[in-house]
Amino acid sequence: MDFIRFLFSWKFVKQVLLAVVFTAAIVWGTLIFLSSYTGHNKYIPVPDIRGKLIGEVMQSTFYADFRFIVLDSVFDPELPPGTILYQDPWVDTRVKQNRQIYVTISSSTPDKVSMPDLKFLTLRQAESMLESYGLKVGNLFYTPAFDADAIQQQLYNDQPIEPGERIYKGSVIDLVVGTGGGSYQILIENTQVDTVPDEGYGVGDYIGD
């Protein structure tokens, strides 16, 4: 009976209220501290750094709120090495301070690829394959061959190049194309061709059996 009376007494109620207030104050103070420590609700927009040099960006105090990590590099002959091409997160994305910004920059040298095997492919197929490898079609030479419009030889710097050989992207590959049987007068437009390698044929020559 005394215990029940004590539960409803002002003394007990006051102690409970004090405990609730004290606990709420601790919780509130902890939340305020965590919010301040973690920078909760404090966001800054990501600047546009495309076209700038990565070295200058990393040394500039203007970008001190971010950390930059080079994720990849791509060769671009028209840009100075180290030029920022892409960034992630994107421009104006709101992030917290010290956020990592991943960038792709231009490299000083092109990537290397393995030379594909173009022999006996049609000219169109060969051109498509070279493009997919990041290589360029150079001069077209024509020579008598049983399979018309098929690649007979692939040349790099005027020399035959074997499939699998590593060369830089953007390299120019000359192609020797078969004309098929019979006699033909070879007319090539918009292509500089002086002679057919190892065969002695030139533009306008008649090629017979």
Same domain, 100 and 155: no
Residue that has been written with the tokens 């909760």 in this structure: 40
pTM summary value:
0.49
More confident residue, 170 or 19: 170
Same domain, 127 and 189: yes
Quote the pLDDT of residue 34: 64
Same domain, 66 and 142: no
Residue 91 lies in a domain: yes
What pLDDT digit, counting tens, does each position of 96-127 carry? 888 999 999 998 888 899 999 999 999 999 99
What pLDDT digit, counting tens, does each position of 68-87 carry? 999 988 888 889 999 999 99
Percent of the chain with pLDDT strictly greater than 70: 75
| Residue that terminates a domain, selected from 78, 107, 136 | 107
| Residue that terminates a domain, selected from 107, 127, 148 | 107
More confident residue, 57 or 9: 57
Q: What angle do CA 171, 162, 204 make, to 5 degrees?
A: 70
Q: How far apart are CA 208 and CA 198, in angstroms?
A: 16
Same domain, 126 and 194: yes
Residue that has been written with the tokens 């990592």 in this structure: 100
Which helix (H) or strand (E) is 17 found in, with range? helix 10-38
Domain coverage including residue 185: 112-207
Residue 79 lies in a domain: yes
Quote the pLDDT of residue 206: 37
* pLDDT band per the 50, 70, 90 thresholds, residue 41: low
Structure tokens at 126: 């060969």
* pLDDT band per the 50, 70, 90 thresholds, residue 200: very low
Quote the pLDDT of residue 139: 95
Residue 35 lies in a domain: no
Paired strand residues for 156: 159
Mean pLDDT of the chain: 81
Quote the pLDDT of residue 193: 42
Same domain, 102 and 174: no
CATH number at residue 85: 3.30.10.20
User: What is the number of domains present in the chain?
Assistant: 2
What is the average per-residue pLDDT within 141-163?
A: 94
What pLDDT digit, counting tens, does each position of 133-150 carry? 999 999 999 999 888 899
pLDDT at residue 2 tops 70: no
Same domain, 74 and 92: yes
Q: Hey, is 174 helix, strand or coil? A: strand
